[in-house]
Structure 1
Amino acid sequence: MHIKTLPRDDHSCGWYELLPEPRPPAILSGNQAADWVIVGAGFVGLSAARRLAVLRPHDRILLVEGLRVGQGASGRNSGFIIDLPHKRDLESPDIDHKRRIMRLNEAAITSLEEIISENGISCEWSRAGRYQGAVGPRGIHFLKSYRTLLDNINHPYRWLDRDALHSILGTSYYEAAIYIPTGILMNPAALVRGLGETLPSNVEVYENSPVTGIERTNGRIELTTPRGSISTPKLLLGTNVFSSELGFLRGRMVPVMTFASITRPLTEDEMLKFGGRDDWGLTPADHAGTTLRFTRDRRLIIRNQHRFAPKYSSDARDLAIVRRNHRAGLLARYPWMEDIGLDYTWGGVCGMSRNYSAFFGKLEDGVYASACHQAVGAARGTTSGMLMADMATGQNSELLSDMITVSGMPAANPPEPFLSIGVKARMKYAAWASRGER
């Protein structure tokens, strides 16, 4: 099967573009055979590769990435690793379901923290917690509901009013917020690149090597890349929405792109005008609202707006519109920033499903995947990648049982043009309903 739609990088992601130049990539060439092939070097693939290296130290393990490590969706998010169940999962009345998700997320954070410490990965890792913010009445309604959900699981938090928030965020834009002391802030591109550079020596990493074809021959899986091919009995997919291009989970994921922009670093004089703290992150009480980050190097990041992305990418026109809206959003919060531009504006695609289910497990003989993480792939992807390697090698654990229990099959989508019409209409309505929280 020939694969037409390949991952591409538009050099717009501020997280990645601000990193030092990486070392030259190893590109897959020639006809190769391997015991294991992992496709996709995001959180899922990197975690699976690291775990496989321990479980199968004498096997040949290949990790194949279509871009440079860190350029894909895992390096394009807002830089949060959230320990709590997200959105629909937190709203579930099933306390045991929530506990399982929290164990899985906490395992991801613990694992990443150990890897970062052992390997000296510089990625602005911070246990700063996060704020869940509300601008007006709609946001306050959601925030109060969120408080009730936190009470139901006995999770610590603190309610902050406008004055308290002003001293932290440097703006009076928000009426209230809940501070959650758990969870992580980080630079996602730096983290993902660091994870790739510190894999065990028995993992071979090939970058700029997109899979352009996949076939089954005599019980083996044959993968084609622009310069070579790989034959393997075992394939692990960390390809999220691109899994559909490989022939798996077709018509079950909704590719959605969300967008972020980042400023230049604030000067000392601008920091005095700002008046807030550094190293914080705020997510919106209304899920269609705005995410904010203030980084250790004094840059503001704003994230909002969603697009249906059937080709998994955005064009210059999309980014120009997003950029104008981001600038307006920052000026609404910080009017004195009129002369401060946005250095980068970028999009990142995530896999959603109509029934809010994430897929984990065996797709067919020798093929495993973790995909459709509902926009919370940093924690879910890290743990599911590790557990995917466990499942593929016959391991058993309580965490693996948890992952199987909280996963499911994403619901089938309606055919086109009904899918596009429905998704776009729903996004427009959500943007309209949440306009006061932007």
Structure 2
Amino acid sequence: MQPAHYTRSRLSEQIMNLPNDDKTCGWYAALPAPKPVRTLSGQQTADYVIIGAGFAGLAAARRLATLEPEARVILVDAQRVAEGASGRNSGFVIDLPHKFALEHPDPAHKQRLLGLNRAAIAQLESLIAEHDIECQWSHAGKYQGAVGERGLAYLAHFEKLLSGLGEPFRMVERDELQRVLGTTHYSRAIFTPGCYLMQPAALVRGLGDSLPENVELLENSPITRLERDGKGGFVLLGNAGTIRTPRLLLGTSIFTQEFGYLKNRLLPVMTFASWTRPLNDDECKRYTGTFNWGLTPADHAGTTVRMTQDKRLIIRNTYKHVPKYGRSIDDKARSDIRSDHRKALVKRFPDLAEVPFTHTWGGVYAISRNFTNFFGQLEEGVFASACDNGVGAAWGTISGTLLADMAVGADSSLLHDIQAVTGMPSLNPPEPFLGFGVRSRIKLAAWNSRSEL
């Protein structure tokens, strides 16, 4: 594959917009204190540098270290591992692509996506077993639920897509749903068996704690500038040190544009979740469902709900365009979102209306207007996986692994598959038209989907 030279922009020449995540992520707060941090200091050199220690960056670092055990690999992140987007999702590892991908006219395209996602799940399951990572990993499957007519129409469309794909699924009616979910709120759901559930922050930290010895993990070490060194390599500048390397891998998702690449091609969107404390004994008696399940909405703008293994209810909905990432959301916005989450909880579980939320948090991810993921070489010595379009855990894992293969010149059928299903995110219109258009579309989707929230 030739470098995508037309994606190249100037290397970073100004102060970057760094991650600014809230400090109220329940998944992260539930973890024990992390190991002592190692930060970037002094002048470092490495054979490979990966920026971003989420699912993609961790997978790339692990794979590079395995393929080239004598190489020095540095994995650097602006935050602690699991504080960023990979530790903030709803804890689904999904094998089936989202509906817009299932609508692709080429059956081979869809089968490649399935194969890539399932390779990621197998890889994660193997690592969890090998390193004894406690992360509530469970082959629980997933429900996709509908409330009213709008949701039922989406569900019927999903049923048609699954039938055409030849994938196993089961239609679940209200009475059976009530026994599983403990609520009569949903009219119908489709159950698909291939999804896994997990505690994302625990999984990401476990992957970070078990990296091979030739990977040096540097946290709380934002890279604020990226330069060419005049010898075909790169210099990464941080607050207290630099790193020189001939090869750079970006597992930076939406922040890839801050390094001068894929500019005006990625849209930063934040979605939000709240969770309760664990249900007490009395509340467990009033709750009539099972534990450890996950439901996503048939209408994509609806509400995701989970009951965790440790008996917490999670509500996730609300989308915001966040051009300044975390700085785009203030305390009032978080309070309003938390109130909306409370309404969604009470609708579904009125007998548990008094159970308090303990944490409300947001997470930023990248989408593209043409729903295309980028994977590949940006220019000589620079490789990136960016824009997961909301399927982060599986896609990040497999794309990071295969990006390492590409960087060292390894070949595989999976590498050919990911190259076949990825491409160039389309250009965005200029501001202020972009912001107005995205905000208007999100508001319209929320209004149309209000019965499913």
Paired position in structure 2 for 1:306: 319
1:16 maps to which of 2, 6, 28: 28
Q: Specify the alignment match of 1:274 in structure 2.
A: 287
1:235 aligns with 2:229: no
Out of 95, 117, 120, the position equivalent to 1:108 is 120
Q: How does 1:412-431 map to 2 (within 5 A)?
A: 412-431=427-446
SS, match of residue 291 in structure 2: coil
The one-letter amino acid paired with 1:120 is D
Q: Which letter does structure 2 place at the counterpart of 1:381? A: G
Equivalent position of 1:139 in the other structure: 151
- What is the CA-CA distance between 1:31 and the residue it aligns to? 0.8
1:23 is displaced (CA, Å) by 1.1
TM-score (norm 1): 0.99
The corresponding residue for 1:324 is: 339
The answer to whether the aligner puts 1:120 opposite 2:132 as a matched pair is yes
Please tell me whether residue 80 in structure 1 is matched to residue 92 in structure 2.
yes
Q: Secondary structure at the match of 1:252?
A: coil
State the 1:328 CA deviation: 0.5
Supply the AA of the counterpart residue of 2:118: E
Q: Deviations over 1:371-403 (max 9, x none)?
A: 101010111110000000000101111100000
Q: Given residue 319 of structure 1, which amino acid in structure 2 is its aligned partner?
A: R
Instruction: Tell me the secondary structure at the aligned position of residue 237 of structure 2.
Output: strand
Q: What whole-Å deviation, never above 9, does each CA across 1:71-110 have from its counterpart, x for those lacking one?
A: 0000000000100111211111211100000000000000
Q: How many residues align?
A: 438
Q: CA offset at residue 11 of structure 1?
A: 1.2
Q: CA deviation at 1:315?
A: 2.2
- The one-letter code matched in structure 1 to 2:355 is I
**Residue type of the partner of 2:349?**
Y
Q: Deviations over 1:210-259 (max 9, x none)?
A: 11111112111110111100011100000000011111111000000000
Find the aligned partners of 2:392 and 2:348 in 1 and give their Cα distance.
Answer: 29
- 2:22–2:362 contact (8 Å) kept in structure 1: no
Q: Shift in Å at residue 279 of structure 1? A: 0.3
Q: Which amino acid aligns with 2:342?
A: R
Q: C-alpha separation between the residues in 1 aligned to 2:449 and 2:22?
A: 29
Q: Conserved in 2, the CA contact under 8 Å of 1:8 and 1:67?
A: no
Q: Secondary structure at the match of 2:223?
A: coil
| Greater Cα shift, 87-96 or 122-131 | 87-96
Residue 288 of structure 1 pairs with residue 301 of structure 2 = yes
Residue equivalent to 1:383: 398
Deviation at 1:344, TM superposition (A): 0.3
Structure 1 residue runs without a partner (length 5+): none
1: CA distance between counterparts of 2:273 and 2:372?
25
1:176 aligns with 2:184: no
Give the TM-score normalised by the residue count of structure 2: 0.96
Candidates 97, 102, 105, aligned match of 1:93: 105
The one of 223, 237, 261 equivalent to 1:224 is 237
Aligned match of 2:369? 354
The DSSP-based 3-state class of the residue aligned with 1:411 is: coil
What's 2:424 paired with? 409
Distance in 1, matches of 2:216 and 2:87, equals: 20
- Over the matched positions of the two proteins, sequence identity in percent amounts to 55
Q: Distance in 1 between matches of 2:33 and 2:351?
A: 33
Contact 2:236 2:243 in 1 (8 A): yes
Query: Of residues 335, 339, 345 in structure 1, which corresponds to 2:350?
Result: 335
Could you tell me how far apart the structure 1 residues matched to 2:21 and 2:363 are?
10
Matched, 1:158 2:173: no
Measure the CA separation in 1 of the matches of 2:92 and 2:15: 32
Q: How far off is 1:269 after superposition?
A: 1.2
State how 1:182-197 maps to structure 2 within 5 Å.
182-197=194-209
Question: Which residue matches 2:264?
Answer: 251
Report the secondary structure of 1:212's partner residue.
Answer: strand
Secondary structure of 2:38's aligned partner: coil
Deviation at 1:153, TM superposition (A): 1.3
Give me the whole-angstrom Cα distance separating, in 1, the residues matched to 2:313 and 2:369: 33
Q: For structure 1, which segment, 6-15 or 377-386, has the greater mean C-alpha deviation from structure 2 after superposition?
A: 6-15
CA distance in 2, matches of 1:15, 1:133: 24
Whether the aligned pair in 2 keeps the contact of 1:357 and 1:410 (CA below 8 Å) is yes
What is the aligned partner in structure 2 of residue 38 from structure 1?
A: 50
Partner of 1:53: 65
Check conservation: 1:109, 1:379, Cα contact below 8 A: yes
Alpha-carbon distance between aligned partners in 2 of 1:333 and 1:38, rounded to the nearest angstrom: 43
Secondary structure, aligned partner of 2:83: coil
CA contact (8 A) 2:21 2:363 kept: no
Conserved? CA contact 2:287–2:352, under 8 Å: no
Q: What letter is aligned with 2:242?
A: S
Q: Structure 2 counterpart of 1:215, which letter? A: E
Per-residue deviation, 1:24: 1.3
* Aligned mates of 1:233, 1:53 — CA distance in 2: 16
Contact persistence 1:2–1:214 (CA under 8 A):
no
CA contact (8 A) 1:3 1:246 kept: no
What is the RMSD of the two structures over their aligned residues, measured on CA atoms? 0.7
Query: Could you say what secondary structure the match of 1:105 adopts?
Result: helix
For 2:7, the equivalent position in structure 1 comes to: none
> 2:333 & 2:49 partners in 1: Cα distance?
35
CA distance in 2, matches of 1:385, 1:206: 18
